[in-house]
Structure formats: structure tokens, C-alpha cells
Amino acid sequence: MNIRPLVGVIACRRDVEGHPAHMVTDKYVRTLRDYGLEPVVLPVWEEQRDEDVSALLARLDGLLLTGSYTNVLPERYGAQRAPENTRDDVARDAAAMSWIPLALERSLPLLGICRGFQEINVAFGGSLHQAVQRVPGMLDHREPEGHKQQQYAPVHDVTIEPGGQLAALFDEPVAKVNSLHQQGVDRLGEGLRVEALAPDGLVEAVSVAQAPGFTLAVQWHPEWESASHPLYDAIFRGFAKACASRR
């Protein structure tokens, strides 16, 4: 019997038909299934007890922090709210900040995407640009107008830093990725290693420098049509391999 590695997927808190709900976009769980993993949606609560989280993580073979239309609360990195920053998810913030260090303590394979990438940076004491497009010298990293295929189309290169986790998964020094984010890394969190950079110098991928296993986070969206994009495919293959080894 082939038992798939069990991957926890952080939920977002939303109101659905007037009721609080815990939600994950289908593209994330479907991609995990496509790579031989078994996703399980993890509810988020504003209060997280470490002993409960540890018991939950002990049952998992990997953890995925997804993208979201919401942003990490700026108070968590000591900033005032910018006018462009309008959507919060305080329950998800609390969950992510609790789960990230506990997952690393357990050497649990960890993959962060977009908001998940930013959560990892904040969890390590880093800060965020709340509107990258207003930072002098930076590109506008927001998604273009149009349908989903246009929004998720690769639009700019990333340069992959040699010797890191991403370079070990993908043997080309440059790849073109999609870009659907307004926020981005300002101050890099202590203990994080830069894995890839955008042409304007914005950090686009990081890993945890001292982590013994797979701990990769990317600012772009590799879950979109992963099998047809060599870099996206390499990321999910690497994550799936790490989760299988963990199991």
C-alpha cells in the first residue's frame, strides 16, 4: 500500500456567506496531489498553544505556507500601515508565527510561497516593503491586468545564487518567473540565506541557513502549472522528495 506523505497546508481565514471559514485555494492542494503528496488543510486560530502545534506537526511529513491576498500585519515588524496595505488575516499571522519555529525545531520540510515567503522573513525578524512599486529603483511586481493565464505568466528573471538549496534543485543560473505581489523583503531576517534575486535586487527566494533539511521560500507562485515550468517543477519535486524522506 502506497501511503502518500502528509503535508499540512496553512489555511486563510475568510468570511463565507456570513460565517468565518478556513480556506485554501485549490491550486495549492491540487499541485501537492500531482507530486504524490497528501494535503490536509490546517485551520488557523489567533491563539496557538505550542504543545498543541507540536503535537500536530509531529503527525505531518511537510508544511506548506501558501500565498494569499492578505498581508502580514505591519505591527509584527515594527512598521506603520501604508495606504496600499488594506487586507489582514490576524489568525493566519498568529498561526504562521507559531508554526514556523516549531516546524524548524522538528526539521520538518517547509515550503513558503508568496505570503508564506514573507511570513518566514518576518518570523526571523525581518521587515517588508508594503508597496514595492513605490520604492525608488524597484520594479512594479504586481500582477498584470487580464485573465489568470496573463497574470501568472512569467514576467521577469530571477538570478539563482550558487551553492544554495535552490541551486541544488535547478542547474540553471537564471529563470523567468511570474510576479503577483505588492509587498516584498525590506530587511532580510537574521539567519536566512538569499537564494534568488530579481533584476532590481529584490530578494525572491530564501532558505534557513542552519536548517538541516528542506526549508525553501519563494516570492513567486510555482504552484501555477508547475509541470510545464522547469524551475517550478524542480521546487515541488524537491519538496516532495524531502517529505517522502521524512515519512
Task: Output the pLDDT for position 46.
Answer: 83
Mean pLDDT of 168-172: 97
Q: Is residue 12 among the annotated active site residues? A: no
Task: Please identify which of the residues 143, 204, 223, 243 carries the catalytic annotation.
Answer: 223
Would you kindly state where each structural domain of the chain is located, as residue ranges?
6-246
Indicate the pTM of the whole model. 0.97
- The matching CATH number, chosen from 3.40.50.10540, 3.40.640.10, 3.40.50.300, 3.40.50.880, for 6-246 is 3.40.50.880
Task: Output the pLDDT for position 23.
Answer: 95
| Residue range 177-223, pLDDT digits in tens | 999 999 999 999 999 999 999 999 999 999 999 999 999 999 999 99
Q: Is residue 223 among the annotated active site residues? A: yes
Q: Is residue 114 among the annotated active site residues? A: yes
Task: Output the pLDDT for position 47.
Answer: 84
| Residue range 21-53, pLDDT digits in tens | 999 999 999 999 999 999 999 999 888 788 889
| Residue range 122-159, pLDDT digits in tens | 999 999 999 999 999 999 999 988 899 999 999 999 99
Task: Please identify which of the residues 195, 221, 229, 243 carries the catalytic annotation.
Answer: 221
Task: Output the pLDDT for position 48.
Answer: 78
Task: Please identify which of the residues 12, 114, 141, 243 carries the catalytic annotation.
Answer: 114
| Residue range 49-96, pLDDT digits in tens | 888 899 999 999 999 999 999 999 999 999 999 999 999 999 999 999
Look at residue 2 and tell me whether its pLDDT is greater than 90.
Answer: no
Look at residue 1 and tell me whether its pLDDT is greater than 70.
Answer: no
User: What single string gives the DSSP state of each residue in the chain?
Assistant: --PPPEEEEE-EEEEETTEEEEE--HHHHHHHHHTT-EEEEE---SS--HHHHHHHHTT-SEEEE---SSB--GGGGT-PPPTT---B-HHHHHHHHHHHHHHHHTT--EEEETHHHHHHHHHTT--EES-GGGSTT----SPPSSSHHHHTS--EEEEEPTTSHHHHH---SEEEE----S-EESSPPTTEEEEEE-TTS-EEEEEETT-SS-EEEESS-TTTTGGGSHHHHHHHHHHHHHHHHH-
Handedness of CA 197, 201, 204, 206 (dihedral sign): positive
